[in-house]
A and B are shown apart, each in its own frame.
Chain A
Amino acid sequence: MDVYLPIANLSVNGLVIVALGALTGILSGLFGVGGGFLTTPLLIFYGIPPTVAAASAATQVTGASVSGVLAHNRRGGVDYRMGGVLVVGGIVGALIGAALFSFFQSIGQIDVVINILYVFMLGSIGALMMREALAALNIRQSKGLKRAAKRRHHPLVAALPYRWRFYRSGLYISPLAPLILGTGVGILTMLMGVGGGFMLVPAMLYILGMSGKVVVGTSLFNILFVTMASTMTHALTTKAVDLVLAALLLVGSVLGAQFGTRIALKLKPDWLRLALATIVLLVALRMLFGLSIQPDEVYSVINL
């Protein structure tokens, strides 16, 4: 099925794009990550210009997360107070990120900055998650004991002033902690062209110490707003949002997200974490490998 993309200026196989969207959607429903960290590189690999890929992936992630947020909301899995603070931070971060983006673009190093960020972020987060998941599985399988609920937040978080109660998250911490976290993720979101869920979910668990039940829903809630801001920024500045491409990705991903949410309910959280850790580490390794070997295209063209 050939579909012509009016902004990307080329024709693609529509079914491949829908399948790609579905894959992202399943990940999104399963893990609460937007899946942009997979869509964007895969679209570029398929031949879509990088800016169009990043901009349209942001639009798609909005759609995937709205159905995810709705699904999690019905189960009380969204902490709106925490989400609101994160979104405020995220939008501030997105603005800072946009400035950094155009700076690195002007000196021609945006590609390498993005790649190094991917390797570093995915590598460290993947390793952390892998260790935790393996440890948790080990305890359960060898001793048959239930792991003690030993959630705790980072000591630095406890040191911040003005504490708020976040009932659904089961926390009594300073709102500055999620605000700073949201800003940091917002910067990376804009630079890396992703929703940032894969960074936010571990940070919420290990730095803020949020209740596991609301992590995925709240992360999706944040992604929803940050990607909406990101789509708007792209529409106004790069004009690279391809509606046809986004619509194809959306068809796949909204269906995939529902499917993913259902699987997530049936699987043990530790196995889920192990699976996500594996995917994240594989993408990181692939990108590290890509940085060290000669790229397919040594030359790249920018229209002036």
Chain B
Amino acid sequence: MTLAAPWRFAFALACLFALCGQSNGSPDPVLVPEVSQKEVQVRQGFTGTELLLFGAVIDPSGREKDFDVIVVLKGPTQSIRLREKRQIGGIWMNAESTAFRSAPSYFAVASSRPIDQIVDEKTAAIFEFGTEFIQLSPAGSIDPEEQARFRAGLVDLRERQGLYRTIEDGVQVREGVLYQARIGLPSNVQTGQYTAETFAVRDGRVLASAVAEVSVRKVGFERFVEVFADREPLFYGLVAIALSLFMGWLAGRLFNRS
């Protein structure tokens, strides 16, 4: 229990600040987020799932209530190389390529109204409110025009794979206090730690934000296969061969008897 002590301390400190904030009548609202599932289990028959992100925006001053809420759900980032096909001598083949050091494997933005009606472009770019503002960290120096083309290509590809999403009107706000957002995860999602960042916005300003985490992981047989393939490749290969030999032999036997 020694490990837990710092956390208890941090929690106590956070409570203290929250209390101070309230008694001082600070104008900054507080966002309390919650996720329907802390853990998404990928097991046999997994065809994707829908995350319900909900919570409350508490304005201690209680003056205004017309908040907009934006939820950004991001999957683990990957270092990728993006290749572009071109027609060369009548044949479509890979020509130019570029590398991105931090492309999220999943990215979804849900908002209570279309983003451009909530914040200006500059703010949207700062907080990554939209697939066109994802921080991809391009590696190497290529000219901005080319970079924009590659970025658009990546976003378009992943949007069609269901991995990058923009859900306008994806957040419902009730009574100016409670919000809820539904964001779908397709079956081809990368496993790992997902972060859901929720923002309360008013008059084009981000007033409060809070982060909730969701872990997506394989369990049971699916987890076993993945780990086995990765840690014992030799045995895994032998099992695959043995399985195919056995099934082939079995079918031969069964058919011959009948």
Contacts and interface: CB of A to CB of B under 8 A. Distances in A.
Interface of A: 2-4, 6-7, 9-11, 59-60, 62-68, 70-71, 74, 108-109, 111-112, 116, 228, 231-232, 234-236, 239, 241, 243-244, 246-247, 250-251, 254-255, 257-258, 291-295, 297-304
14 contacts: A4-B47, A6-B218, A11-B45, A59-B240, A59-B241, A59-B243, A70-B249, A231-B241, A236-B234, A243-B243, A247-B247, A301-B81, A302-B83, A303-B79
A294 B92 contact: yes
A9 B190 contact: yes
Nearest to B78: A303
B148 interface: no
Contact of A243 (B85, B239, B249, B250): B239
Contacts of B97: 108
B80 A304 contact: yes
Contacts of B218: 6
* A interface, over-half SS: helix
A304 B45 contact: no
Given A70-B252, A254-B251, A236 B237 contact: yes
Interface residues of B, number: 61
B205 interface: no
A62 B81 contact: no
Interface of B: 42-48, 78-85, 87, 90-94, 97, 99, 103, 150, 153-154, 156-157, 187-191, 218, 221-223, 225-226, 229-230, 233-234, 236-241, 243-245, 247-252, 255-256
Contacts of A71: 252
Contacts of B191: 9
A299 B83 contact: yes
A111 B93 CA distance: 8
B247 A63 contact: yes
A67 B255 CA distance: 10
Given A254-B250, A294-B92, 14 more contacts: A4-B47, A4-B187, A7-B225, A9-B190, A60-B244, A228-B241, A232-B238, A243-B240, A244-B225, A257-B251, A291-B92, A299-B84, A300-B83, A302-B80
